[in-house]
Chain A
Amino acid sequence: MQIDWQHFTPWSALAGGVLIGLSAGLFALLAGRIAGISGIVGGLFRIPMASSNHWRWAFVGGLIVAALIWRLTSSPPAFALSASLPQSIAAGLLVGLGTRYANGCTSGHGVCGLARFSVRSLAAVLAFMAAGFITVYLLRHVAA
């Protein structure tokens, strides 16, 4: 392992993480709910439909408005997607199905779950981190 000092951004990573944690923690305290993105978005497809999904749309709207505010006020953030079209589609399906079966993703299990000391979430985080490390290893060091 070699640390990529050129791309390492400790301060913006920490500060961004604190914002994410504040948002999730305040949402739990003030609204009593988990700020897990896959659960919030996936709940929109629930059968039968929930009586009120407005708060889910409001949360997703907040995410999009954040991006719009960033575009208006700051320089464009770095963005590079290396996945091909078939890889993107396969990855999207896996992320959509997987997070719903697991009842959470990086936000629901990773941030909220670990902040609640949930053993169930810790198991989920270990499983998806291990799968992520192995997938990138195969992608970059075996298949390439």
Chain B
Amino acid sequence: MRNLIAALAGLIFGLGLILSGMSNPAKVQGFLDLAGQWDPSLALVMAGAIAAATPLFMLARRRERALLTHEPMSLPTSQRIDRQLLLGSVAFGIGWGLAGICPGPAIVAAGLGKVAILPFLLAMLVGMALHARMTGSRSPQ
């Protein structure tokens, strides 16, 4: 059941990424280019996503167990704002700006057959694997 829900969630998520234009690096950079010809589309992607997700998260947060899998809820509780969070996010933002891609769209673009995305995607996976090696089992998530 958990795997089926994950597959369907991934499917809907992926269709949303393609429909919204997030899988196009040029469009993402067009949004990040405030000083040039600015394409505000991605602000609407975020607005639509947050508007749709908020009521569902409000329902989810009231539960002790997930509605379909009946597993204990595994939602984050940390409110800590530390160096790891901020420096990690800044590093992510620099990479996001450089190429115009974040993790989900990289996978979807590969699925779309865009070979040009592969160096980014492989380097991203190497980065994630490096993090796992460096932090080992100390990483809680």
Contact = CB atoms under 8 A, between A and B. Distances in A.
A89 B113 CA distance: 19
A81 B9 contact: no
Contact of A92 (B3, B89, B126): B126
Interface residues of A, number: 116
Nearest to B52: A21
Interface in A1-52: 1-4, 7-10, 12-35, 37-39, 41-43, 45-48
B interface majority secondary structure:
helix
Given A65-B14, A71-B113, A77-B18, A99 B45 contact: no
Interface of A: 1-4, 7-10, 12-35, 37-39, 41-43, 45-48, 54-56, 58-71, 76-83, 85, 87-103, 105-107, 109-116, 118-120, 123-125, 127-137, 139-141
A76 B37 contact: no
B97 A133 contact: yes
Interface residues of B, number: 123
Contacts of B53: 21-22, 24-25, 28, 111-112, 115
Given A14-B45, A91-B98, A25 B56 contact: yes
A119 B81 contact: yes
Contact of A136 (B16, B33, B116): B33
